[in-house]
Structures are given as C-alpha cells and as structure tokens.
Amino acid sequence: MTDMQTLTALIKSFCEARDWDQFHPPKDLAIGMSTEANELLELFRFKSDAEVQEKMKTAEFRQKVSEELADVFFFVLRFAQMNSIDLAEALQNKMQKNAEKYPVEKAKGSNRKYNE
C-alpha cells in the first residue's frame, strides 16, 4: 500500500524535474482536473448502465478507465501539493460534515440530498 505522502513526493519530483511548477497555478490545475474528469466521463458517454457493466469486465476498457482516473488523481494530488493542502485531513473533515448532513437514519438507502 502506498501512502499519500509517497504519491505526492513522486508527483512533486516528476514535475520539478521538468520545471513545470511555473505552469501549475491553482486555476490551471483546476482546469486540468476538470479536463481529465471529462475524459473519464467520455468513456461512458451514450452507454447504458448494462453496457458499462459489460465493458468494465474487459481488460482494455478497465485500462482506459484506470488511466483516466490516474490523470484526475495526478491533478488532485498536484493541486494539493502546490497549495499545501493536506488531502487526508481535508477528506476526514469533509466526511465528518457529510456524516452530519446525511445521518444514517435519514440517508440509508436514499439518494435524496440532505435538504430534500
């Protein structure tokens, strides 16, 4: 198992070796996240749930999905690294807020938003 610090260091080293810090202000990293997330979404475009389930069983499709997820993850990690955001802490804090918004007794088995 690889931890966040190791992954962040890997990305930092990769980008610094290429002198890419200059190209990674928050705006451009946020754009990169969105762009890569849309490339992931494109893999599912115009496919039914059943078609997606079948495609997910193939190594080729799973590889494409994995690569797009990795691209999204790269930008998320890079954004956090460049802006000194502790993702583990941020996620823990957000999950606590989510637990308050979506208590089990109200949210279990429901896809409704907390204010509906």
Q: How many CA atoms lie within 13 A of 19 on its CB side?
A: 0
Q: What is the pLDDT of residues 32-66, one digit of tens each?
A: 999 999 999 999 999 999 999 999 999 999 999 99
At residue 113, the pLDDT reads: 82
Amino acid letter, 34: S
- Whether 43 and 63 have beta carbons less than 8 Å apart is answered as no
Q: Report the predicted TM-score, pTM, of the whole model to 2 decimal places.
A: 0.89
Domains of the chain: 24-107 (1.10.287.1080)
Give the burial string for 50-67 (b: 16+ CB within 10 Å, else e): eeeeebeeeeeeeebbee
